[in-house]
Amino acid sequence: MKIYFRTFGCQMNVNDSETMAGILKNAGHEIIDTENNADAVIINSCAVRGKSERKAYGKLGRLKALKKKKNDLIIGFGGCVAEKERKKLLESHEELNFVFGTRNISQINDFIERASKGEHFTDFSDKLDELDSTTPRYRESNHHAWVTIIYGCDKFCSYCIVPYVRGREKSRKMEDIISEVRKLADNGYKEITYLGQNVDSYGNDLDDDTSLSKLIKETLKIEGIERIWFLTSYPKDFSEELIETIASSDRISKSIHLPIQSGSNKILKAMNRGYTREEYLELISKVKEKLPEASLSTDLILGFPGETENDYLETKELLKIVRYDRVNFAVYSPREGTLSARKYEDNVPHKVKTARLNELLELQKSINQEKNEQYIGKNVEIIVEGVLKDGNLYGRTITNKIVIFSGPKELIGEKAEIEIHNISAGPLRGILSTKNLQPSREH
């Protein structure tokens, strides 16, 4: 059977789709890159923001039209929207054959077989224990791999749907993760990214002293892995031990993502973030002291219920203080089922949210431009990731700076040295150095 995946949302959803595709390919199915010739289509949805949810429903609408032409097309719907809506999805969308959850992706081949026999069903069982290092995965890249190390989230931020659709935190055993990474290294993978909704919580639910820091230290012992990344961190759980570990090796990402969400203590409390502005800035100071070369990034929500002009100005001032390399901005939209949607009135006018967003976008753009000017005329080391539509190659530095240049496709997955000639508020541009860098090893 030919099967097509359409994935929305975060890298964990991408990794979930890679896992499902690997299971299906191992069972004899063919994974294809277009829905037009597919016998089955799997939608892996995201419910974090309304925009992502609408995109998933939009795709479902287009598949409904396709199914009218191809009656035997199987359509499965999974991910966070599926968890949020459950049986309502199957009841309201006759084009669906089955709906499944975020913790039973290991069952995807069984779901396809049941659907092929004419069954219409929902299944939200918890089968996370069936996923381990032996689970086949059909990865998008030949040199970089996503590796989920902890599922779920226990934070319950007032605006966030994730704990309700992803469940409580559940860490994988360290030895199983290391086994997966060893196999990746044996197969030529040079970069791995450890994933979790709150990756810093890794190990807290286990009965030993496992932690993200200890996992990274064990990963450094694996020959062939040249870069170790991790997403997504939570400020309250970002430990000094982790900072020390990152500083100990040039193979560990120097890109630190610490979502602040607001610069106002009043709003942080309403968001149930568990830290204050002052505590956050103290953490940033520790990171800058121990990792002066690191890039910093964050997430910000504008227009949270009750956000006054003064609250907004505190956020604006925090951006000026920290001077992030990247900021993911979002305007607040209530998500059904969250505490903030039940408890708070969405009382900041949309035009005010938009005005604040646009002002901070311009501020961040100017900060990015200023910070990138330091790269003019300098050489940077990247691992080449792929080809852009215009034929140029691109890669990333250890600080997660995107670099665009012209070069042979054979460089994809390899280290290269690039001399930077042009900068923008976004990517850096340069030319390939005559010197190709050889992978370094630590012993």
Write out the DSSP string of 309-360. HHHHHHHHHHHHHH--SEEEEEE----TTSHHHHHS---S-HHHHHHHHHHH
Q: How far apart are CA 326 and CA 255, in angstroms?
A: 10
pLDDT digits (tens, 9 = 90+) for 16-74: 999 999 999 999 999 999 999 999 999 999 998 888 999 999 999 999 999 999 999 99
User: Residue 117's Cα: distance from chain center in Å?
Assistant: 35
pLDDT digits (tens, 9 = 90+) for 313-325: 999 999 999 999 9
Answer left, alpha or beta for residue 118, where phi above 0 means left and psi between -120 and 50 means alpha: left
* Residue 315 pLDDT: 98
* Residue 436 pLDDT: 56
Q: What integer best gives the mean pLDDT of the chain?
A: 95
Share of the chain above pLDDT 90, in %: 94
Give Cα separations from 27 to 3, 39, 105 (angstroms).
12, 15, 14
Q: Provide the β-strand partners of residue 151.
A: 170
pLDDT higher than threshold 50 for residue 261: yes
**Among 197, 289, 269, 295, residue whose Cα is nearest residue 237:** 197
pLDDT higher than threshold 80 for residue 162: yes
pLDDT higher than threshold 70 for residue 438: no
- Residue showing tokens 């607001």: 262
Give Cα separations from 71 to 132, 243, 316, 391, 424 (angstroms).
36, 55, 54, 39, 50
pLDDT higher than threshold 60 for residue 441: no
* Residue 354 pLDDT: 97
Q: How far apart are CA 74 and CA 407, in angstroms?
A: 42
Is the separation of the CB atoms in 307 and 264 below 8 Å? yes
* pTM recorded for the entire structure: 0.93
Tokens, residue 20: 């499902």
User: Mean pLDDT throughout 70-81?
Assistant: 96
Tokens, residue 187: 């197969």
